[in-house]
Structure 1
Amino acid sequence: MSGLESLYQELILDHSRRPHGKGLSADAAATSHQVNPTCGDEITLGVRVDGDRVVDVTWDGVGCSISQASASMLASLVEEEGGLSRSAASALIDGFRAALRSRGETPLDEDTFGDAAALSGVSKYTARVKCAMLAWVAFEDALAKA
């Protein structure tokens, strides 16, 4: 394992152990519950919006370190950006999905995706892509409902 892969693995484990945004907010504009039937991972994600901006993402869930870390990284990214416009959120979701479906051909850019760039390597393991995508699918669905 290269030094970068080792660093990314530690980042994933850190987000899994000390998750950001965990604990659903009672004032979410919309929530989405998603389940990965292959492995049983579950995420319920809530979004809080202010006009055209997503101002907060909170979540609760159970599952593997990848699904839990991915939800944490997503919540952290929205928080670090100070919120996102709906169009920016949609672009992030689309970019994340494209990278994870690329089978390692398209890495996630750290400047755009923050800590979630550590999930780039997951794209080489098709069984794990659904784990990493779970929170992002919930995010997309909750945004559509909000």
Structure 2
Amino acid sequence: MIVNKHSYSSIRLKNVAYKLFLDITTEDYKVIFDQFLALCKDVGVSSAGPINFAVTQVDLQKRFNIEVFMTVDRAFRPTKDLNFRTYFCIDMLLHGRITSNNFVDDEIVLLEEMNRFAKENKLTFASPYYHTFKTDRKSEKGWICLLYTSSETTRTGR
């Protein structure tokens, strides 16, 4: 696990397909990501970057709402099942990476470390945690970047 404590990052995406999924569990991840990719295919667009998601709400039964989004190869007209925004930008992000395959346990440790760093440096939380799935250069090993804003600089285009 790696936390970048020396500089901030940003998310800057163009031509973004997105969908909000409600009442999800971690067991639903594969299904919702497959469904999201199928919805993109249905409107005739292809991935132009990694899948991202933000957990926007967690209830007492550990079910949560998740917004899945991804850069696609061209603009499209939104449908009742899939939305579109021209751009998505967030600046001043503290971020960390999980480079093992033990995502659940390592995410907890990484988030604790990021929260400790934010508290020590008096950073303000202004967004949900963002996750980005990526693979290495050989497209073999998956890893997740975990990001959250330290100041309110979120912009989205519709």
TM-score by shorter chain over 0.5: no
TM-score, with length taken from structure 1 = 0.31
User: Which structure is higher in strand share?
Assistant: 2
Q: Which has the higher helix share?
A: 1
How high is the TM-score relative to the length of structure 2?
Answer: 0.30
Greater radius of gyration (CA): 2
